[in-house]
Structure 1
Amino acid sequence: MKIVWLTRTLQRLESEYLARAGLSLPLAAIAVVVGADLIAGRDHFLTPGIVAAPPLAAITVTWRKTLLVGVLGLLSQAALAPYDGITDIPDHDVFFGQAFAYVFVTLFSVYIAWRRETGAKAFTAITSVAEAAQHALMRPPEPQVGTVRLAVRYVSAADAAQIGGDLYAVLDTPHGVRALIGDVRGKGLPAVQTSAVVLGAFREAAFDEGGLDTVARRVDTSVGRHVSTGDFITALFAQFDEPDSVELLHYGHVAPLLVSRDGAVHTLYPADPWIPLGLADLVSGGPTSWRVPLRPGDVLVLCTDGVIEARSPLDGTFYPLVERVGPLVASAGTDLDTAVERVYADLLLHAGGSLSDDVVLLLLSPRPGALPAHPPDPTHPDAA
């Protein structure tokens, strides 16, 4: 695992080094070959080595500078031709053959540099659009929403994109702080469109409806109206409406975790597991919410299946979130930003440096002072 991560890191550092090298690398190549040719004397013909300069320029500078390097290289070969005795050969066949091959390599290098430059501009444009779309769709919350502190890490596995099928939202409403985390089946643009439907419905219902179950039904109804038949979204709703507890509602999503101040981890399995959003026609009724007591320092950890299904490239094991999250969160104290970064870094290390699925890590905790001092709660998971 460490070898894979180290290899990827070295590749990234190599790419950054080449980008910074600029003209110095191809010009140094020309200078080295010219110097070696002069030192070797007239009996050694080393100038063909200059052919390496244009390809080096193609990966470090623009196509115009690549062409400039090619011209300098050609001039250097022409200047050294009399010294090396190339012009003494009848009809100059050797020099012209060398020059022809060099010009061909130079023109091809200029083309490669132009394609690389054009591709980089297109990638930058796509990334900018994706970033704007992410901010419009996800609307990243502030570090504190109402009485709840939070930190989030959102990563899309899609190439050249920062948005995907995972979604989250945290809102301060008249009914308390309400949060949603979900995972759309599928990837690409259809998944993003479904995410927009779910988030739009949640943002409206979270302010209008008094009960968390009613909010979820409104979202489910919108999904049924606007999402293709057969598509579904796993989701988990949370509501911080009381000072010492959180209400949870489950729709087929990854079970949340409660991390205590001392690092103890408890998986909060729903008493009434339910099917994902979008499949309401298959069953009657609806899920029942349940409450979990909170103590000062408790952190609620919500995630999508991209976290727990991330595999190690060495042995194929899934990421052991329950075993790892406790010490990582507890060691950060009240700094949730540090905690979520530590969990994500550990996840990335386990996965060998890259993820094959979208990931959302959402940490929620009542701010200091929001929970009143009270006797030990016998229903708290740590009470035993």
Structure 2
Amino acid sequence: MAVVAGIDLAAGPEGGFLSLVSLGPAFAGLIGTWRRTALIGSVALLLCAGLGVYDGLFDTRRGWTAMASVAGVTLAGVRSVAEAAQSVLLRPVPRQVGELRAAVSYTSAVAESRIGGDLYEVVASPYGVRVIVGDVQGKGLAAVATAASVLGVFREAAHDEPDLTALAARLERTVAREADGEKFVTAVLAEIHTDEQVAVLLNCGHPPPMIVRADGSTDLPHPPAYA
């Protein structure tokens, strides 16, 4: 950005180099965090505005076009960092956990809304294979951060807590501690005992899980008790 600024000052308003300031946030999105990308984007906008005023470009469309280019590249860079964070968050589950086979297919409800708080994990624990499928209220980086906290606690607590009720309570404390009063997480917790062919489900406000049997029939199991 400094090089572009120097070239623009030397070439004058007719050089047309102002929009190249967007290279700063573009490269920041490739190598930095979303906060660094947003910071570099803000600096780029200020630099672009200063050069635009110096060159007198805001009397024409060129100055506003350059500002729009910098803002667009910054937003795209922040989004790419968020998508990378979510791809790490939603890592592949093991295909085989004991005698249990696991598979995941993740599809967003809206094609353009690829960044959100969807979460899932499969953990082999001393109490059986434990699974979580959940969703954080809202979208964007804040939802990704909350999902990361929930998954981090689940991966640890799944080995420690003796039953799903205690595990859910521990996750609840995490959400209550880190999220504001308007934020919530819905989830289905499962504990699967392959030797007994039994699965225990605990639903925390999430859409009910579906059982698909070998003959192709499906069922939405109703809980024996409600909180």
TM-score of the aligned structures, taking structure 1 as reference length: 0.38
Secondary structure of the equivalent of 1:130? helix
Structure 1 counterpart of 2:102: 150
Deviation at 1:131, TM superposition (A): 4.0
Deviation at 1:263, TM superposition (A): 0.8
Deviation at 1:235, TM superposition (A): 1.1
After TM superposition, list the pairs within 5 Å mapping 1:93-104 onto structure 2: none
Structure 2 counterpart of 1:247: 200
Structure 1 contact 165–184 (Cα < 8 Å) conserved: yes
Structure 2 counterpart of 1:270: 223
Structure 2 contact 116–143 (Cα < 8 Å) conserved: yes
Q: Percent identity?
A: 44
Q: Which protein has greater RCO, CA pairs closer than 8 Å, 6+ apart?
A: 1
Structure 2 counterpart of 1:166: 118
Secondary structure of the equivalent of 1:221? helix
Structure 2 contact 191–200 (Cα < 8 Å) conserved: yes
Gaps of 5+ in 2: 1-60
After TM superposition, list the pairs within 5 Å mapping 1:196-207 onto structure 2: 196-207=148-159
Q: RMSD over aligned Cα, in angstroms? A: 3.4
After TM superposition, list the pairs within 5 Å mapping 1:75-114 onto structure 2: none
Give, in whole Å, the separation in 2 of the partners of 1:208 and 1:150: 22
Give, in whole Å, the separation in 1 of the partners of 2:113 and 2:138: 15
Secondary structure of the equivalent of 2:119? strand
After TM superposition, list the pairs within 5 Å mapping 1:208-219 onto structure 2: 208-219=160-171
Residue of structure 1 aligned with 2:132, choices 173, 180, 194: 180
Change in 2 beyond 3 A, CA 1:131/1:272: same
After TM superposition, list the pairs within 5 Å mapping 1:328-347 onto structure 2: none
After superposition, give the CA deviation of every residue in 1:127-166 in whole Å (9 maximum; x if it has no partner).
6523431233222213223332122122346787643122
Structure 2 contact 100–194 (Cα < 8 Å) conserved: no
TM-score of the aligned structures, taking structure 2 as reference length: 0.61
Give, in whole Å, the separation in 2 of the partners of 1:164 and 1:150: 23
Give, in whole Å, the separation in 1 of the partners of 2:186 and 2:112: 25
Structure 1 contact 127–161 (Cα < 8 Å) conserved: no
The answer on 1:220 being equivalent to 2:172 is yes
Structure 1 contact 130–162 (Cα < 8 Å) conserved: no
Give, in whole Å, the separation in 2 of the partners of 1:247 and 1:151: 19
The answer on 1:235 being equivalent to 2:187 is yes
Structure 1 contact 238–246 (Cα < 8 Å) conserved: yes
Change in 2 beyond 3 A, CA 1:190/1:273: farther
Change in 2 beyond 3 A, CA 1:131/1:229: closer
After TM superposition, list the pairs within 5 Å mapping 1:1-384 onto structure 2: 123=76, 125=77, 128-156=80-108, 162-243=114-195, 244-274=197-227
Give, in whole Å, the separation in 2 of the partners of 1:261 and 1:132: 36
Structure 2 contact 83–114 (Cα < 8 Å) conserved: yes
